[in-house]
Amino acid sequence: MDKQSTEALVNLAARRSIILPAFAPYGELGGFYDYGPIGLRVRNNIENAWRAQFIEGMGNVEIDTTIIGPEIVFEASGHLGNFKDPITVCSKCKTSYRVDKLLEEFFMKKGDKKAAEKAAKLAKIPEFEDMLKDNHIKCEKCGNMLHKVETFNLMLNTKVGPMGGTQGYLRPETAQGIFIDFKNIFRNLGLKLPIGIGQVGKAFRNEISPRRLLIRMREFSQMELEYFFDPEESKLVINNEEVSDKFLKEKVNFITGEQQRANTGMDFEQITLEKGIKEGYIPNKLFAYLMYEAKHFMLNIGFDEKSFRFRQQLTDELPHYSKGNIDVEARHDEGFEELIGIAYRTDFDLKNHEKFSKSDMSIVNGEKKLVPHVVEISFGLDRLFWVLLSNSIHKDKTREWDLLLLNDRIAPYRYAVYPLQKDEKLIEKAMELNKKLNKDGIPTFFSVTGSIGKRYAKSDETGIPNAITVDYQTIEDGTVTVRHASDSKQERLKESEIA
Ligand code: GAP
């Protein structure tokens, strides 16, 4: 079984309408994608796995806050001042490029991984300009030399209300609504620290050059959890229970800031979370615990342990709100892609909202009045979806089509149900079985269209692990064939054995 390239996934996604460029008949607006029926079911399953683990599993709560906010909220959060990327605009044809990504992709194409990693870590405008000049980087559209670099704010704005209205912005992360509502929810629900408040929803960024489908979008979904805690409390309590230090023995694939600066080309080494804290890579125990949960989430949804790592962000890369960031990155194309960001946001956000809104953001936890600190774990849902699919697309020698091998938790349907051929008796029998499975809460994909071979190809390519075929023997003895996508082997089972 060979793993297929992202290019094969792009073709498969188009062929089976897993994702679609938004507004396609009108031409493309970069960075906007729709999900088709299969894609949405897979995305929902990832979201549900997140909810089961990070909300229900940890005794946390979930909220839903607005997408548009007034200007002052994003002044307080620092996004209006700091949320910028380096841009270069071609002086001839006016095409714009995000410079760090342009350089990274330029070196990756040349097979120079070290230079690509160096480019990804640049932070200062003159450094970018020198790299463009030294490598004679040209506009991809017209071939003109690119040289001048500036910064560009990624906030998307809108006007709220008639006659010009007031200035509003589309949120660039779901987190701010959580910070703003925190005190109210904590007090009115009688919560105790530490407590996580989560949110799943859309975020918007006016990306300079949206690229690589769901990797860099302008409208995308996040699943974020803000974990509020007392920084002076050494005991770690999750879901009302003290967590034993055993989890600190967990090994994770890790690359430190120093190892990246040394630019040796290594992917990662295995360290324990305990060592990560001792050496100062991991800011605190709660942070380490969220890394532990993140690792198990990645395994749960189907990533292979060797396919992802934790990367300590370099000081220059740290977002304006952070006192320490570690990303979860998974193998994608030739390198690693950031899927999850874990950040020690301290009391930065609550304190800034306190300052700008002039409302007290402190809470009373037991006897103590404090403004809590926050560790955030932020998941990019679309990237998780896309990179999981790119790690799951395979080809075997016996089949002409691709295979999407997803685990039962994430697969869009557990079973496809196919009558062997277009015969009323078989269709009726298959429909009866299909209805029974649906009634029992088993989701199925029912299809009569095309030859049985073509339908097997369809379920293999859409990540459905099992296909049930109803044939003439089914009518006689109530047995069906169940074909497994992983190895295309078939077995004969009684209808009642299907669960
Ligand atoms: N609240 C923190 C925050 O937003 P981030 O690292 O900027 O942190 C979190 O974003 C996650 O959101 C990333 O790890 C990534 O998976 C996803 N993400 C960020 N920008 C994205 C984009 N333009 N398109 C798709 N996903 C994106």
If you average pLDDT over residues 89-107, what whole number do you get?
92
Tally of domains within the chain = 2
Tell me if 116 sits within 8 A of 335, measured CB to CB: yes
Q: Which of 330, 357, 392 is the last residue of a domain?
A: 392
According to DSSP, the residues that pair with 219 across neighbouring strands are 204
- pLDDT tier at 262, thresholds 50, 70, 90: confident
Residue in 340, 348, 296, 297 with CA at minimum distance from that of residue 321 = 348
DSSP designation for 497: G
For residue 254, how many C-alpha atoms fall within 13 Å in the half-sphere facing its CB?
A: 23
Give bridge partners of residue 217 from the DSSP assignment.
Answer: none
Residues 487 and 375 in one domain: no
CB 444 within 8 A of CB 434: yes
Window from 39-48, 53-62, 93-102, 195-204 with minimum mean pLDDT: 93-102
- Let me know whether 466 and 332 are in one domain: no
pLDDT of residue 122: 81
Sheet harboring 466-470: ordered strands across?
444-446, 415-419, 466-470, 479-484, 490-494
To test the pocket of ligand 1, the residue of 174, 178, 224, 338 to mutate (highest count of ligand atoms within 8 Å of its CB) is: 338
Question: Of 340, 341, 342, 349, which is closest to residue 373 (Cα–Cα)?
Answer: 349
Domain assignment of residue 95, yes or no: no
Domain-located, residue 147: no
- Positive or negative, the CA dihedral 161, 358, 80, 116 is negative
Q: Which of 427, 416, 417, 422 is nearest to 475 (CA)?
A: 427
Kindly state whether residues 447 and 369 are assigned to the same domain: no
**Is 180 part of a structural domain of the chain?**
yes
Check: CB of residue 406 under 8 Å from CB of residue 392. yes
Neighbour-count burial of 138, counting CB atoms closer than 10 A to its CB (0-12 exposed, 13-18 middle, 19+ buried): middle
Retrieve residue 457's tokens: 């190809």
Whether residue 93 is predicted with pLDDT greater than 90 in this model: the reply is yes
* Minimum-distance ligand 1 atom for the alpha carbon of 338: 14
408 within domain boundaries: no
Whose tokens are 């009866």? That residue is: 432
If you average pLDDT over residues 362-382, what whole number do you get? 97
Pocket test for ligand 1, best of 383, 384, 385, 390 (most atoms within 8 A of CB): 383
| Same domain, yes or no: 263 and 336 | yes
Q: What residue's CA is closest to ligand 1, atom 17? A: 380
Question: Residue written as tokens 């690229």?
Answer: 211
Residues within 6 Å of ligand 1 by CB: 173, 175, 205, 207, 216-217, 220, 222, 224, 338-341, 376, 378, 380, 382-383
- Distance from the alpha carbon of residue 490 to the mean position of ligand 1, in angstroms: 42
User: What is the domain range of residue 420?
Assistant: 413-497
Q: For position 459, which CATH number holds?
A: 3.40.50.800
pLDDT tens, position by position, 305-350: 999 999 999 888 888 888 899 999 999 988 899 999 999 999 999 9
Q: Of all residues in the chain, what percent are helix, strand and coil, respectively (each to 5)?
A: 35, 30, 35
Residue 20's contacts (CB-CB under 8 Å, 6 or more residues apart) are 14, 33, 34, 35, 36
Cα–Cα distances (Å) from 80 to 71, 100, 171, 349, 443, in that order, read 8, 21, 11, 14, 45
In the reported structure, the alpha carbon of residue 447 is separated from the centroid of ligand 1 by a whole-number distance in angstroms of 37
Task: Output the CA–CA distances (angstroms, integers) from residue 113 to 118, 192, 267, in the order listed.
Answer: 9, 47, 11
Ligand 1: centre distance to CA 43 (Å): 16
Say if CB 89 and CB 132 are below 8 A apart: no
Ligand 1 centre to CA of 350 (Å) is 21
* pLDDT score for 40: 98
Rounded CA separation 417/401 (Å): 19
Query: Which residues neighbour 400 within 8 Å (Cβ) at sequence distance 6 or greater?
Result: 457
Ligand 1 centroid from CA 172, angstroms: 9
- Both 347 and 297 in one domain: the answer is yes
Residues 385 and 426 in one domain: no
Same domain, 317 and 370: yes
User: H helices of 305-357, where?
Assistant: 348-357
Atom of ligand 1 nearest to the CA of 325: 6
- Phi, psi at 438, each rounded to 5°: -60, -40
**Token pair for 231:** 């920084």
380 Cα: distance to centroid of ligand 1 (angstroms): 5
Give distance in angstroms: CA of 239 to centre of ligand 1: 27
Cα–Cα distance for residue pair 83/63, rounded to 1 Å: 25
pLDDT tens profile 19-32: 999 999 999 789 99
Same domain membership, residue 335 and residue 429:
no
Reported in sequence order, the residue ranges of 274-432 that DSSP labels E, i.e. its strands, are 308-312, 325-332, 335-346, 363-365, 368-370, 373-380, 393-395, 403-404, 415-419
For 136-195, the pLDDT digits (tens) are 999 999 999 999 999 999 999 999 999 888 999 999 999 999 999 999 999 999 999 999
Give the CATH number for residue 169: 3.30.930.10
Same domain, 372 and 441: no
Domain-embedded: residue 262: yes
- The mean pLDDT of 449-464, rounded to a whole number, is 96
- Give the pLDDT band of residue 12 (cuts 50, 70, 90): very high
On whether residue 122 sits in a domain, the answer given is no
- Which DSSP category does 310 fall into? E
Considering only CA atoms, which residue is closest to atom 13 of ligand 1? Answer: 380
Same-domain status, 185 and 222: yes
